[in-house]
Structures are given as structure tokens and as C-alpha cells.
Amino acid sequence: MKFICTDDERYNPSSVTVLTRITNAFPLWVLLASGLSLFEPSLFSWFSGPLIPIGLGVIMLSMGMTIGFDDFRRIAKERHSVLPGVILQYTLMPLLGWCLGVVFDLPAPFAVGLILVSCCPGGTASNVIAFLARADVALSVSMTTVSTLLAVLMTPVLTAVLAGNRIDVPALGLLQDTIQVVILPVIVGAGLKWRFPVFCERILPAAPLIAVVTIVLIASSVIGGNQTAVLNAGPRLLLAILCLHGGGFVLGYGAGRIWLGRERAAQTAAIEVGMQNSGLGVVLGQQNFTNPLVAIPSAISAVLHSLVGSVAAAIWRAKNNSEVSQDTPP
């Protein structure tokens, strides 16, 4: 979920509210809840069926409520920084997802699920990680916005191209569901901000926490609901997904450093490339494929990309803090 904050707020601990602290600990909540779901699936089984796409729609709605005309003007102005990150998002990750499915010789449903999540846009959690890493939050928000809007075409087309030889991929169904759970809620949210700006400003502080709770419930519901399959998949599937996100961070950073030059911009590109909208992957996997196992990689992805992102954020936060201290006169 987006963090809209000034530089003073970003670097002033006293401005961080309890709500923000809880939200920033989202990797811990995802890990704990997902682990618990393997032992007590019934705790999360109620969050299933239509609740999952509705939950994702609420997240996208709140994301839309943060988008205004100023954001699009900023994106147009920063297009030379925004577009490279988006291009890397839809080239590096899909190709990496396809390669890892082959290298780890994953069963067809898991391989397709891995490709599906790798073709999804940047996740809203990437904005949180950018905030924690003290990377370029505004650039992160812009990249997430653009990749999300492009998902209506890129996600179904790339998934069909890369996974079509493994399993029947309903590209039209993927397109329709992406429009329903991503594009339409974002447009409605943007409209609400334009028509009722005061109302949106009042409810937005709670939006990041709602997003975290929803993602926790989505991941835990799918993992717990497929408990046996997840446990039987063992380390091979986990390692493949870990390599997907770890590789996304490494390749995104390297390519960003060459393409964008600036350190914080490269960090931001790495975060955007390495973190996907796993919730969208779950919804598309559940609603468009007859095999329920296709949704599992996306659910596990929500856990692992949060952990990889947290490690990267800790490293970059220390590095960026050190640079800020060195630049501050005694």
C-alpha cells in the first residue's frame, strides 16, 4: 500500500504512528499466519470463494483513492525513471519465472503458477518496503501505478505466451478478471478521490493496514486450504519461489544501477521488480484454472517476497542512513 509522506516524516521516528508500525511489520504477520494455517487450516478457511477477489478489489480501490492528476503529471515528468522499472518488471520476472520452472522441473500446475505470479504487476507491499529501505518512495508509487494499469494486457498475454505449452491458459478469462479486480476498483477509487477528497483523506490512514490484513488472509487461506499439496511440494517449490524473488531483487538492482544510475533509484527498481501482486496471482489462479494448485505459488510468494524484501530493506536502510549521516554537517 502506498505511503504518502514527506522527507521529514520519513526520517523522523516520532511521526510514525502505532498503525504504521503494525503495518510495517507485515512480513512477520504473513509468515506467522501462513505457518499457522499449515497446522490449523480451519482458522483461515472461512476466507475463501468470493471473499478473495472482493478483498483484492478493496486493496485496489484504496490504491486508486491515492491517485490524482498530480500523480500522472509526476509520472509523465519522471517517465525516464519510471519506464525502465516497469519494463524490467515485465521482462526479467516473467523470463525468470519460466526458467525456474524448467530448472526445478516443477509439476505443470506449480510451473504455471510460478509463471503467473511472475507476470503480475508490482505489489502494493513494495511501497512499504521502499519506505522501510528509505529508497525513493515516490518513484516506487509511480512504478506500481503504471505496472498495475498495464497489467490488464501484460499479465494475461505474458502468461499465455510463456505457459501455454504446459497447460491450457484462458487468456480472455485472465483479462476479464484483471479488469474486474484491478482496473475497475482503481478507476472507482480515483473517481472517489476526485469527487470526495476530504472523505478519502480521512479513511486512507487505515488503508495500508487493511491491505496487510487482506493479503495475510488470502495467503493463509490458500496455503491452509491446500495443506497437503504445500507440504508434499517440499523445498523444491519453496526454493524456486525464493529464487524468483531473490533473483528479481538482484537482477532488478543490477539493471537499475546500469539503466538509472542513481543508487536509491536502483534500489527502488529492485524492490518493484522483486515484489509481485501475489493477491492478483491467487485470484487469477483460482478463477481461471481447473487445477487449484496453480494458485499455490502466488500464496507462497506473498510470504517469501515479504521476507526477501525485509532483508533487502534492512541492508539498504543501513546504507542509506549512513549516507545521510555523512552528508549531515556536524
User: In order of start, what are the domains of the chain with their CATH numbers?
Assistant: 50-322 (1.20.1530.20)
pLDDT, one tens digit per residue, over 38-52 is 889 989 989 988 898
Min mean pLDDT across 38-52, 166-180, 203-217, 316-330 is at: 316-330
In this prediction, residue 132 has a pLDDT band, given cuts at 50, 70 and 90, of confident
How far CA 265 is from CA of 61, 82, 126, 143, 252, in Å, comes to: 27, 9, 14, 11, 11
Maximum average pLDDT range among 45-59, 127-141, 245-259: 245-259
According to the model, what pLDDT value does residue 11 have?
Answer: 41
- H/E stretch holding 230 reads helix 227-259
**What pLDDT sits at residue 270?**
94
Model confidence at 159, pLDDT cuts 50, 70, 90, reads: very high
Tell me the average pLDDT of the chain.
84
Reported confidence tier of residue 5, pLDDT bands at 50, 70, 90: very low
pTM of the model: 0.84
What is the per-residue pLDDT for 243?
96
pLDDT at residue 8, rounded to an integer: 42
pLDDT in tens, 263-280: 999 999 999 999 999 999
- Which pLDDT score, from 0 to 100, does residue 281 have? 92
Sign of CA dihedral 49, 50, 51, 57: positive
Q: Which residues pair with 276 in a beta bridge?
A: 122
Is pLDDT above 50 for 16? no
Q: How much is the average pLDDT of 98-124?
A: 93
pLDDT above 90 for 260: no
pLDDT attached to residue 2: 47
Mean pLDDT to the nearest integer, 193-219? 84
Q: Residue 13: is it exposed, middle or buried by C-beta count within 10 angstroms (0-12/13-18/19+)? A: exposed
Amino acid 7: pLDDT: 42
Residue with the bigger pLDDT between 96 and 176: it is 96
pLDDT for 178 beyond 90: no
Which of 35-44, 46-55, 97-106, 197-206 is least confident?
197-206
Nearest C-alpha neighbor of 213 from the set 319, 62, 322: 62
Q: What's the helix, strand, coil split of the chain in %, to 5?
A: 80, 0, 15
Model confidence at 259: pLDDT above 50? yes
Mean pLDDT for the stretch of residues 79-105: 92
Q: Report the percentage of the chain scoring pLDDT > 90.
A: 31
Residue 13 has pLDDT above 50, yes or no: no
Q: pLDDT value at position 93?
A: 95
95 vs 183, higher pLDDT: 95
- Rounded CA-CA distance 81/78 in Å is 5
Q: Is 90 exceeded by the pLDDT of residue 61?
A: no
324 has a pLDDT exceeding 60:
no
